[in-house]
Structure 1
Amino acid sequence: MKFTIQRDLLIDSVQDVMKAISSRTAIPILTGMKIEARQHGITLTGSDSDISIESYIPAEEDGIVNVEDIEEGSIVLQAKYFPDIVRKLPEQHVEITADENLKVTIRSGKAEFSLNGQDAEEYPQLPKLQTDDSFEIPTDILKSLIKQTVFAVSSMETRPILTGVNLSLSESKLTFTATDSHRLASREVPVSSSSVQFSSIVVPGKSLNELNKILDDTEETVEISVTNNQILFRTKHLNFLSRILDGNYPETSRLIPEQSKTVLHVKTRDLISSIDRASLLAREERNNVVKLTTKDGNILEITSNSPEIGHVSEELSVQSIEGEELKISFSSKYMLDALKVMEVDEVKIDFTGAMRPFVIRPVDNPAMLQLILPVRTY
């Protein structure tokens, strides 16, 4: 195997693929990165058997030559050393050759490295997903779906199914839902003309976080294909394969209250700042509890009390308060997490009493919601 490649392209690809490589794998060869050279381009592969990532560098694109002098072949390189070597090479061009004894030489300018490779034949074959049952979604929308839900997955392995985000697609609407049983985040977006339907597949939160880091903010589309135990996200130069979690995701729709007793309209940034200040004294407490009380004249009082440290209270003017008077306590962390990902100027919050979950939605987009369970304070 032999090829000469632009160093920047190689660095980008290597960084993407590294997100799937773990040093703590039961299969030793998976600590390496597979490199495959074909006349049309170079493919890099990394996998930890939960996530597999393939990054493709075409030999030529838009009239620009990325890779030249290609002699076909493949090799597996130690991922512990290869990325650092590539990053520190002196010149823009990198020549990589592998001989029949699996010795790999990496040259750039006057620098030359020699590494021991492994036989690519021993690298596990990635499952090839049928992409007939696939649908497409703009990359920027997929990224915001992930960002607005994945933070609410559970970090506790006691209920593994809750460490993932539940995806469902029906009637051309794609829904992402995540919950750790104290809060819930959900968003629904239309998908253009999809014949594909599935009611519930659960993708590990860790996989979606890595995917979100790799995807660029573009309006190009991502193609998504689902089988019974794998999901594939595909862009022009990237295949991102994740396993799907086993088990039944809880029915979350019945958690969302149908009616409300108190409704607030409030500027998101004002509420974030106020709760952030109130939580300064609540940091030491187990769940950073902040109390919200409605007052006459569209005023909210936001307070936090920590017996050992002190007390904070602040009045906040809001756009409107309708319905019953309310006193409710909640985790400031959960509230701030929810408000920060919504990226809207104004939110509507529906309360159904002090001990019932409350729902936060953007004023102009009911398809996105955050639900938070209050905290009992006696």
Structure 2
Amino acid sequence: MKFTIQRDRFVQSVQHVSKAISSRTTIPILTGIKIEASEEGVTLTGSDSDISIESFIPTEDGDHQLVELEQEGSIVLQARFFGDIVKKLPEDTIEIMVSNQFVTQLKSGSSVFNLNGLDPEEYPRLPEIAEENVFKMPKDLLKSIIRQTAFAVSTVETRPILTGIHWSLEDGHLTCTATDSHRLAMRHAQVETNTSDLEFSNVVIPGKSLNELNKILDDTDEWIDIIVTDNQILFKATNLLFFSRLLDGNYPATKNMIPTQSKTTVKLKAKNLLDAIERALLLSREGKNNVVNVKTIENNELEITSVTPEVGKVTEDVQSLDYTGDELRISFNGKNVIDALKVIESTEVEINFTGAMSPFVMKPAERDHMLHLFSPVRTY
């Protein structure tokens, strides 16, 4: 194999596929990046068997020649060194040549690296996915969905299913839900399907997979195709394939957890509430309890307090924009509410309370496309 390639595009592809590679894998070949050169271009692949990423660099992009091929072939190179090497090579192009025993030479300007490669025939093949049932959405919408749900997945492995995000599709309407059993984030979106009867109800994608995908995707309105099978999901963008395994098991029935009625409804400026809770938590860092207490006072104001006995107490009043219903006194994990306020993308939020010891719901005041559910904290 021998080819010359534009360094910037090559570095970008190497960084993309490296996100799928784990140093903890028990399969030695998966610590490497597979590089395959053909007349069409250069394909790079990285995998840890849970996530697989394939990035393609075409020979030409418009008027630009990206790859000059002299000899087709493939090689697997250690990802640990390879990414750092290509990033620091001096010139705009890199020449890559594989000789006997998989020894690979990287040449850029006067810099020459000789690396010991691995047999590409040993590299596992990517899953073959029949592209019958496809739905699609703009990349920027997918990135928003991931950002607005993935933070709420569980980081504890005792219930593996909760480390994933539950997706269900019905009538072109996608619902994405994440919960760690203390909080829940739900996001709705309209998507396009290639068949009117495409639907599924229990697809659970590892939160880790979607976070890695989010890092790779550019924030544009270009469309991305999504294909779901029994145990895999494929995200297919221009020159990029991202495979992830799905989690086994049934996701809890979260719809039953969301209250349909409320005793108290409060509308607030999102930034005012966020700032007040962040200030309230300044004293609770040491205790790591993050408990914030809220009660209603006169003039439709909320009093927000946080007490850390060995440090002190903070109190702040926040003016509501609208207040209806019963008086309120509740305690909750302030950090969880902060996480939600940071992704809610709305200047005003509406919070519906159903009692001091019942979960409460927060959502954007202007739109109904997402909601966040929080469990209260017992403080006595």
Q: Per the shorter chain, which TM-score range? A: over 0.9
Structure 2 residue matching 1:274: 3-state secondary structure: helix
Aligned pair partner of 2:305 in 303, 307, 310: 303
CA distance in 2, matches of 1:56, 1:132: 23
Aligned equivalent of 2:36? 36
Structure 1 vs Structure 2: percent identity of aligned residues? 57
Aligned equivalent of 2:275? 273
Aligned equivalent of 1:207? 209
**Contact 1:98–1:105 at 8 Å: present in 2 too?**
yes
Q: Any stretches of 5+ residues in structure 1 without a counterpart? A: none
CA distance in 2, matches of 1:68, 1:24: 35
The one-character-per-residue Cα deviations of 1:93-113 (angstroms, maximum 9, x if unpaired) are: 100011242111100001111
CA distance in 1, matches of 2:28, 2:134: 33
Matched length = 378
Mapping for residues 161-172 of structure 1, pairs under 5 Å? 161-172=161-172
1:324 positional shift: 0.4
Aligned pair partner of 2:357 in 355, 358, 367: 355
Mapping for residues 279-290 of structure 1, pairs under 5 Å? 279-290=281-292
**Contact 1:39–1:70 at 8 Å: present in 2 too?**
no
2:230 maps to 1:256? no
Structure 1 residue matching 2:101: 3-state secondary structure: coil
- Tell me which moved more, 94-103 or 334-343: 94-103
Aligned pair partner of 2:348 in 346, 366, 378: 346
CA distance in 2, matches of 1:284, 1:329: 19
Query: If the length of structure 1 is used for normalisation, what is the TM-score?
Result: 0.98
Query: If the length of structure 2 is used for normalisation, what is the TM-score?
Result: 0.98
1:193 positional shift: 4.2
Aligned pair partner of 2:236 in 228, 234, 237: 234
Aligned equivalent of 1:102? 102
Structure 1 residue matching 2:342: 3-state secondary structure: helix
**Contact 1:37–1:70 at 8 Å: present in 2 too?**
no
**Contact 1:291–1:302 at 8 Å: present in 2 too?**
yes
Aligned equivalent of 2:58? 58
1:316 positional shift: 1.0
Q: Any stretches of 5+ residues in structure 2 without a counterpart? A: none
CA distance in 1, matches of 2:286, 2:169: 42
Aligned pair partner of 2:221 in 219, 222, 234: 219
1:294 positional shift: 1.3
**Contact 2:136–2:193 at 8 Å: present in 1 too?**
no
> Structure 1 residues 50 and 297 mapped into 2: Cα distance closer, same or farther (>3 Å)?
same
One-letter amino acid matched to 1:110: S
CA distance in 2, matches of 1:97, 1:132: 39
CA distance in 2, matches of 1:198, 1:277: 43
The one-character-per-residue Cα deviations of 1:153-178 (angstroms, maximum 9, x if unpaired) are: 00000000000000111111011100
CA distance in 2, matches of 1:258, 1:17: 44
CA distance in 2, matches of 1:285, 1:336: 18
CA distance in 2, matches of 1:58, 1:96: 16
Aligned equivalent of 1:124? 124
**Contact 2:37–2:69 at 8 Å: present in 1 too?**
no
2:221 maps to 1:246? no
1:200 positional shift: 1.3
The one-character-per-residue Cα deviations of 1:302-356 (angstroms, maximum 9, x if unpaired) are: 0011111111101111201110000000001101001111111001000001111
Aligned equivalent of 2:376? 374
1:55 positional shift: 0.5
